[in-house]
Amino acid sequence: MTMTAEWENSAGRLRNETEPNGLGLALATIGIVAVALAMTVAGYGLLGWAIVIGLASITCLWAGISLEVAEQRRLQGLGDERERSDGLR
């Protein structure tokens, strides 16, 4: 059991809570690439595939932008907590 606790503690120390997460940017990038793919597929006349890829691109863009906004709010909240704890209102 002590090995598990040490492993959890070391994993917790390696994770930095103040650095941004890159998942939102990755999803937004995939969404932009999917828009280009949907336009290409639509140009070839495969409208069914264009609709499917278009919906996937909208979903990826929405999720990516939402995650980035949430991440920015989280990081801003961490900054506000630090100011309050230091007494720097």
> Quick one: pLDDT at residue 22?
86
Given a contact cutoff of 8 angstroms between Cβ atoms, the answer to whether 56 and 35 are in contact is no
Q: What is the pLDDT of residues 34-87, one digit of tens each?
A: 999 999 999 999 999 999 999 999 999 999 999 999 998 888 887 766 666 666
C-alpha torsion angle, residues 19, 20, 21, 26 (rounded to 10): -140
Place of tokens 């090995």: 3
Burial state string for 10-28 with b = 16 or more CB within 10 A and e = fewer than 16: eeeeeeeeeeeeeebeebb
Place of tokens 């809570």: 17
> Quick one: pLDDT at residue 83?
60
pTM score = 0.67
